[in-house]
Chains A and B, each alone.
Chain A
Amino acid sequence: DAGVIQSPRHEVTEMGQEVTLRCKPISGHDYLFWYRQTMMRGLELLIYFNNNVPIDDSGMPEDRFSAKMPNASFSTLKIQPSEPRDSAVYFCASSLRQRSTDTQYFGPGTRLTVL
Chain B
Amino acid sequence: AQKITQTQPGMFVQEKEAVTLDCTYDTSDPSYGLFWYKQPSSGEMIFLIYQGSYDQQNATEGRYSLNFQKARKSANLVISASQLGDSAMYFCAMREPAVKGSQGNLIFGKGTKLSVKP
Contacts and interface: CB of A to CB of B under 8 A. Distances in A.
Interface of A: 33, 42-43, 45, 48, 55-56, 89, 91, 93, 98-109, 111
B8 interface: no
26 contacts: A33-B105, A33-B106, A42-B108, A42-B110, A42-B111, A43-B91, A48-B105, A56-B105, A91-B45, A98-B98, A99-B33, A99-B97, A100-B32, A100-B33, A100-B52, A100-B96, A100-B104, A101-B50, A101-B52, A101-B95, A104-B95, A104-B106, A106-B37, A106-B45, A106-B47, A107-B44
A56 B102 CA distance: 11
Interface in B59-118: 91, 95-98, 103-106, 108, 110-111
Contacts of B37: 106
Interface residues of B, number: 26
Contact of B35 (A42, A45, A103): A103
Interface of B: 29, 31-33, 35, 37, 43-47, 50, 52-53, 91, 95-98, 103-106, 108, 110-111
Given A103-B47, A108-B44, A45 B105 contact: yes
Given A100-B95, A107-B44, 5 more contacts: A45-B106, A93-B45, A100-B104, A101-B52, A103-B50
B50 A99 contact: no
A33 B46 CA distance: 15
Contacts of A102: 33, 95
A87 B81 CA distance: 37
Contacts, number: 60
A99 B43 contact: no
Given A42-B108, A100-B97, A56 B45 contact: no
A43 B86 CA distance: 21
A56 B103 contact: yes
Contacts of B111: 42
A101 B43 contact: no
A33 B106 CA distance: 10
B104 to A, nearest CB: 5
Contacts of B105: 33, 45, 48, 56
